[in-house]
Amino acid sequence: MLLKSLMTRIAYSMLILSGILVSEAHAYIDPGSGSVLLQLILGGAAGVGVVVKLYWERVKTTCQSLFGRAGKTDPNG
């Protein structure tokens, strides 16, 4: 526990010092960065869609059990 606390303090100290001692970074954002960002967002959305499609039955069953619709069939009809 003591080692973890010490390592955390050292990490925070290094982070603070690196923020204080950094000089200006005369940089710019490339015009193609917007395109890459858009591709990242669209690719992530497509990935989420594929995962939902693959696990749709499991998601549907879980939602039905959460809202109490699973297993409520009438044995008489």
Can you give the residue range of the structural domain that contains 46? 35-69
DSSP state of 5: H
Residue 6 lies in a domain: no
Asked whether residue 14 is assigned to any structural domain, the reply reads no
Write out pLDDT tens, residues 14-52.
Answer: 888 887 877 777 777 788 888 999 999 999 999 999 998
Alpha-carbon Rg for the chain, nearest whole angstrom, is 26
Full-model pTM:
0.44
**Domain assignment of residue 62, yes or no:** yes
In a domain, 29, yes or no: no
Count of domains in the chain?
A: 1
Residue (of 51, 55, 56) closest to 43 by Cα position: 51
74 within domain boundaries: no
DSSP 42: H
What is the pLDDT, as a whole number, of residue 71?
53
Tokens of 66: 């959460």
Residue 23 falls inside a structural domain: no
Return phi, psi of residue 23, to 5°.
-90, 175
* Domain-located, residue 75: no
